[in-house]
Structure 1
Amino acid sequence: ALASYGGDTSDVLVATKGGHLRPGDGSWTLDGSPKYLAEAAEASLKRLGVEAIGLYQFHRPDPKTPYEDSIGAIRDLLDAGKIRMAGISNANPAQIKQAQEILGGRLVSVQNQFSPKFRSSEPELELCDELGIAFLPWSPLGGITSASELGAKYPAFQTLAAELGVSPQKLTLAWMLAKS
């Protein structure tokens, strides 16, 4: 579903998340409650000025809320037409399977951290590939402060990139695409 979104090159897929908050003091907090997720989606709809969000993702499991309740709220937004596609983020393989079941096979994306430095999400990437779900790596080049140092930190990427006449960053993205 994610790969076939739109049809015209002028179409833009708007993606946003709910459930991870920045209260203003520099900290991060979680609220995966169905009430909050519905409120956050409504606020995003209003701010974006759209009738439906293209891709809405549950940002991060909240230990205070059962995962199935959070995903149930995403399902309800999907059923109500407030979001066109549903995704999750920071999920493990069991949560991916659970979300796919709760969403009735309509899970289109999983966004987990993945980069040459952070490869522990390979099982999730492989499961997404097997299930036909888009895997969206966050910080694929190692984060905003590390992206320019990718070749220096990972000499194999630098060496191969130089042989191919591309940047280590391009090589890294090609490596990720080749994985799934």
Structure 2
Amino acid sequence: MITRRNFLTNTALTGSAIVLAPISAAFATGKSNPDRKSTYKVEPKMKTRKLGNLEVSELGLGCMNMAGNYNPPADHQQSIKTIRTAFENGVRFFDTAEVYGPYTDESLVGEALQPFRNQVKIATKFGFAIDGTIALDSRPERIKKVVEESLKRLRTDYIDLYYQHRVDPNVPIEDVAGTIKDLIQQGKVLHFGLSEASPRTIRHANAVQSVSAVQSEYSMWTRNVELNGVLKTCEELGIGFVPWSPLGSGFLTGKYDTTTYFDKETDFRAGFPRYSKEFLPMNMPLIEWLKGYAATKNATPSQVALAWLLAKSPSIVPIPGTRTQDHLLEDLGAQNLVLTQKDVQDIDTMLSKFPIFGERMGEAHMSSIDYTL
């Protein structure tokens, strides 16, 4: 079981594709200007969506697991290649955080995206103390400090979307939003986001500085935001929604079963109740149904799970995470699977027949979720 003491010490918190010529890494290190036009030419284009006023590709890439969390950290060059393959195949939205690694994931993303920085949108996050505990720290002075550090690691002079990673109960959200507003006025941040925030927090933050996106876990086996008012609040306020873990930490890929081993030292899922020996067998009927449904659509379970989210709302932008190019290209195939509203209704009806057993994360993880309504 992941303990509070080693929670952040171990690592971080949390279709065919047209592949172009290899991207050269021989680009000079330096800052980026959002108005400067890049000479790097790339196809194909993916459809775009809006997170508030921020335009992004309809599928993003979550880069967290490249630094670890669900297995040891991935090979550095493999991760660079995966990120650049995503770009070559139309992805323009990349998600990271200072706590992933910690710090190493931002550096990886910065290196991988530097050749075409001005053609992509980078989201990163602040809010953890990163002191070996799960302590939160969103004091204005700390935000002003860590944003500079993130900018350096990302090799840029602006962050497209800056999330508060978790709501800090010791710092009024108005103070956090006010600090981000200052950073936006300075040009260091372009858009403000919140992660795992309640409707009340979202409203209070948005009253001070417009919130472009809210990020929370959302998938076929984690649908809390449909019931707790978060999706409704985002829709009302014109805020985009970014589902993290849209494939259920890998469960919805259909690649795991009751014999799968999750290492307690390197894999957070070893401490997730849903993956326990008690509950995982009880949750398998969902994936068995999903495999069968996917076959009827000539798709994979992952593609159906992502297409379902895309069909839920034009303001939803999933960010599936993967370490390999094969899984990446499989995920990107979801953009070619168009589900009708009847399809979505049929899927929802079937999902209601499969109760989910066990909490979505371990106790340490869940302790930092903002439940205030």
Correspondence for 1:73 among 160, 179, 187: 179
Residues 85-140 of structure 1: per-residue CA shift (max 9 Å, x gap): 1111111111112121110xx31100011112211112312322333221001111
1:13-52 correspondence runs (5 A): 13-23=121-131, 25=132, 27-52=133-158
SS in structure 1 of the partner of residue 156 of structure 2: coil
Aligned residue in 2 for 1:172: 305
Aligned residue in 1 for 2:215: 111
Closer/same/farther in 2, CA of residues 4 and 174 from structure 1, 3 Å limit: closer
Q: Cα offset for 1:16?
A: 0.4
Partners of 2:294 and 2:301 within 8 A in 1: yes
- Asked which structure has the greater CA Rg, the reply is 2
Aligned residue in 2 for 1:54: 160
Correspondence for 1:2 among 54, 61, 66: 54
Partners of 1:18 and 1:59 within 8 A in 2: yes
Unaligned 5+ runs, structure 2: 1-52, 58-91, 93-115, 257-283, 314-373
**TM-score under structure 2 length normalisation:** 0.43
1:132-151 correspondence runs (5 A): 132-144=238-250, 146-149=251-254
Query: Percent identity of the aligned residues?
Result: 38
Closer/same/farther in 2, CA of residues 21 and 147 from structure 1, 3 Å limit: farther
Q: Cα offset for 1:17?
A: 0.4
Closer/same/farther in 2, CA of residues 2 and 157 from structure 1, 3 Å limit: farther
For CA contacts below 8 A with separation 6 or more, give which structure has more relative contact order. 2
Q: Cα offset for 1:28?
A: 2.4
Question: How many residues are paired up?
Answer: 172
**TM-score under structure 1 length normalisation:** 0.85
Closer/same/farther in 2, CA of residues 108 and 72 from structure 1, 3 Å limit: same
SS in structure 1 of the partner of residue 157 of structure 2: coil
**Separation in structure 2 between the aligned mates of residue 176 and residue 162 of structure 1, nearest angstrom:** 18
**Separation in structure 2 between the aligned mates of residue 61 and residue 166 of structure 1, nearest angstrom:** 37
**Separation in structure 1 between the aligned mates of residue 253 and residue 143 of structure 2, nearest angstrom:** 36
SS in structure 2 of the partner of residue 97 of structure 1: helix
Correspondence for 1:87 among 182, 193, 196: 193
**Separation in structure 2 between the aligned mates of residue 153 and residue 2 of structure 1, nearest angstrom:** 38
SS in structure 2 of the partner of residue 29 of structure 1: coil
Partners of 1:141 and 1:172 within 8 A in 2: yes
User: In structure 1, what residue type is equivalent to 2:55?
Assistant: A
Aligned residue in 2 for 1:120: 224
Q: Cα offset for 1:32?
A: 1.1
User: In structure 1, what residue type is equivalent to 2:312?
Assistant: K
**Separation in structure 1 between the aligned mates of residue 208 and residue 285 of structure 2, nearest angstrom:** 41
**Separation in structure 2 between the aligned mates of residue 170 and residue 20 of structure 1, nearest angstrom:** 33
Correspondence for 1:97 among 188, 197, 203: 203
**Separation in structure 2 between the aligned mates of residue 79 and residue 150 of structure 1, nearest angstrom:** 46
Partners of 1:142 and 1:150 within 8 A in 2: no
Partners of 1:58 and 1:71 within 8 A in 2: no
**Separation in structure 1 between the aligned mates of residue 311 and residue 125 of structure 2, nearest angstrom:** 27
Closer/same/farther in 2, CA of residues 137 and 150 from structure 1, 3 Å limit: farther
Partners of 1:90 and 1:113 within 8 A in 2: yes
